[in-house]
Amino acid sequence: MAATLGRICGSKLLKSAPALNLQQANNLSTTKTWTNGQKKLFATIGALTGGVGALIYALEQSVEASGTEVHPPKMPWSHSGIIASLDHTSVRRGYEVYKQVCSACHSMQYIAYRNLIGVSHTEAEAKAEAAAITVKDGPDDNGEYYNRPGKLSDYFPAPYPNEEAARAANNGAYPPDLSYIVSARKGGEDYIFSLLTGYFDAPAGVALRDGQYYNPYFPGGAISMAQVLYNEVIEYEDGTPPTASQLAKDVSTFLKWTSEPEHDVRKQMLIKTVGLMTILTILAYYIKRHKWSTLKSRKIFFVPKKD
């Protein structure tokens, strides 16, 4: 054993290698072997890549600046913080707005009544909301279809049986499904709020067809949906003053939740992840500083026995 350690120490395997100086590091570079043609080729590729990226960015900015619609301003939403949750009282009021106003034209086919439980309604309240609708079900044992009260597993009812009926009732315009409308529109809830509160008289030079209205936040300015939110158009159950801006704010928050049902859970996971990673980082630093450092810095010496 002593002889083996002696050979290892003699071969300098346990000694640290000296750091490379600048000249040695330069000698390791492969770019010195490139020809002038290769250098010019890579320089040209880099310049073209940067130029194409700058051109794409410039074109995108110019298209946005030259658009016919007004970009919605950024609103101070209570849920816009990194760890801020949705205002669930506002979500509940937004459901009232959708139920009493928006559902007359817009469907929400991907949201079921069971999704309301624990978010804006209790289980009993969600069951009562579901029981208020009539669902065509079947066939039964006799092969016939029948109507029954809604259940928690049922989805929100559609106002029209098909797209053709929806277009016929709205001058050819098809009211989009609102389940994921916030995620599907640039600007998100800011766009929804601005659109609902942004109706004005058409300026000079803007021609509107029959059944169209002017809204600068809608692409082109001409929208087939009339203004539907006015002061006191509905009454809130909790007594909140139903101003037009309050109605738009609440339904925008509700649509934010329908587009991102995992919103609050995702932010809770962020808090848990940051807390767990903080603990693990402290533990790793302790192990590195007080445990592993002694192993990394130890030295092995061979001391032969004296005769």
Binding residues: 102, 105-106, 225
Q: Which residues contact 120 (CB under 8 A, 6 or more apart)?
A: 88, 91, 92, 95, 254
Q: 223: which strand partners? A: 213
Q: What are phi and psi of 117, to 5 degrees?
A: -65, 130
What single-letter DSSP state applies at residue 220? Answer: T
Q: Provide Rg for the chain, Cα atoms.
A: 33
d(C-alpha 199, C-alpha 221), whole Å: 10
For residues 175 and 191, the answer to whether their CB atoms sit within 8 Å is: no
Give the residue numbers of the binding site for heme c: 102, 105-106, 225
* Token pair in block for residue 88: 């669930």
- Distance, in Å, from the CA atom of 16 to the CA atom of 292, rounded to the nearest integer, reads 18
Residues 198, 245 contacting (CB under 8 angstroms): no
d(CA 97, CA 100): 5
DSSP state of 31: G
145 Cβ contact list (under 8 Å, min separation 6): 136, 137, 138, 139
Task: Write the DSSP symbol of residue 103.
Answer: G
The bridge status of strand 146-149 relative to strand 213-214 is unpaired
